[in-house]
């Protein structure tokens, strides 16, 4: 097999820094998608959508039946992603109505249900790529 060295430059003119940023963005987006899936599957967006006013993480955790610490970290991630918002004091959280409408739609749930199954399949996929065996054995 004749393997030639890959060109130093991209045909598109993309630099190494451009490519690094693209990969970082993909990883960040994947992380947000994972957190979106958690929020939908745990009913966190539903819980946030019925709040009458911004609420503390402790209150939201209690309403959602979740662990306070894990919920707090999830909220921080959702704020950084621009999905959930904080009040001016940075102590209470809320989900704007237009975002809740989209996140609670049937389509949003459909988009995020594949993520949990993908995670459980990862080890089997590693094996299949190496062996060609699709049964996981």
Domain coordinates in residue numbering, the chain: 19-106
Distance between CA atoms of residues 78 and 92, nearest Å: 13
pTM, rounded to two decimals = 0.77
Under CATH, which architecture does the 19-106 domain have?
Orthogonal Bundle (1.10)
Show the CA angle centred on residue 71, arms to residues 22 and 102, nearest 5°.
Answer: 60
Q: Which residues pair with 86 in a beta bridge?
A: 93
pLDDT in tens, 77-100: 999 999 999 999 999 999 999 999
pLDDT in tens, 19-57: 999 999 998 888 888 899 899 989 999 999 999 999 999
């Amino acid at each position: 097999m004749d393997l030639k060295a890959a060109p130093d430059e991209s045909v598109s003119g993309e630099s190494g820094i451009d490519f690094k940023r693209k990969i970082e963005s993909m990883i960040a987006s994947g992380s947000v998608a994972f957190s979106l899936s958690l929020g939908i599957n745990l009913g966190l967006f539903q819980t946030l959508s019925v709040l009458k006013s911004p609420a503390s993480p402790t209150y939201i955790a209690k309403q959602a039946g979740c662990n306070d610490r894990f919920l707090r970290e999830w909220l921080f991630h959702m704020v950084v992603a621009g999905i959930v918002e904080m009040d001016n004091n940075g102590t209470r959280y809320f989900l704007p109505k237009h975002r809740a409408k989209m996140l609670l739609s049937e389509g949003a749930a459909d988009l995020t249900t594949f993520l949990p199954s993908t995670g459980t399949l990862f080890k089997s996929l590693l094996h299949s790529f190496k062996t060609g065996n699709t049964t996981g054995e």
